[in-house]
Amino acid sequence: MDDQINELNEPVDSYDEDLFAGPAPAWPKWIGGLAIAWGGIMLTCTGIGMVMLPMQAKFMGPMIEGAPMPDAFIVKPMDWAMMGVGLVLTFFLLFGGIFCVMRNPISRILILIWAIPSIPMSLYSFMVQMDKQASLQEWAKQYPDTQYAQMLSQSGAMGQQLGQIIGLVFTILLGVVVPAFFIIWFGFIKTKPEQMSGSEEVIA
């Protein structure tokens, strides 16, 4: 009897850490799923854009009827550079989402590599598009008899302004808000590896 009491009073030298670990948090699955979904959409759009970019001048040929090609439809090295950088960054987001679902802490770095430059790149891309629209308007004034110029005049100033507003809304929501969310989430809220595994704290 005394031996049993002494055994109970002996200090515990080791313990099973799994018994004290909290349940794994659920957020990596839906955050990772969001990153995978958004990365997939961006990868598809970027791929389509890279295929269509060199073809736009060919499509415009019959519509300008012998007039000089509008500068907005001439593919420049910067266009390819933006497409290429965007494609590479999209892979960081996609693989970051996959690793996040797997609760691998490297996902935080990968997603931040995508998110941080995405905001200035989105704003720059929007500004470039606005410059191209203004260039097209000037071109249409110089060649009003072309089919494309007539299409622009039929859309009217109201339609063009509406298109710019829609473009700005999409730029803010998708090019600024979504990356900003990931920057705040991984840059200020979930900054420790254990916040993915739940080994030191329970996060629902």
At residue 75, the 3 state secondary structure works out as: coil
Name the band, by pLDDT with cuts 50, 70 and 90, for residue 12.
very low
Q: How far apart are CA 129 and CA 117, in angstroms?
A: 18
- The two tokens of residue 62 are 């019959």
Predicted TM-score of the model (pTM) = 0.80
The pLDDT score that the predictor gives to residue 204 is 35
Length of the chain: 204
In the chain, where the domains are located: 14-197
Reply yes or no on whether the pLDDT at 65 is more than 90: no
Cβ density class 78-100: b for 16+ within 10 Å, e for less: eeeebbeebeebbebbbbbbbbb
Average pLDDT value for the chain: 83
Q: Count CA within 13 A, CB hemisphere, residue 51.
A: 6
Hey, what's the torsion of the CAs at 34, 95, 39, 172, to 10 degrees?
A: 80
Q: What is the mean pLDDT of residues 139-150?
A: 88
Centre a 10 Å sphere on the Cβ of residue 145 and count the other Cβ atoms it contains.
8
Amino acid at 60: M
185 vs 66: which has the higher pLDDT: 185
| Torsion over CA: 77, 46, 107, 115 (sign) | positive
pLDDT confidence tier of residue 6, bands split at 50, 70 and 90: low
Q: Render pLDDT for 36-64 as a digit per residue (tens, 0 to 9).
A: 999 999 999 888 988 888 888 778 778 88
C-alpha–C-alpha distance, residues 120 and 100, integer Å: 24
Query: Averaged over 70-85, what is the pLDDT?
Result: 90
Q: How far apart are CA 32 and CA 136, in angstroms?
A: 41
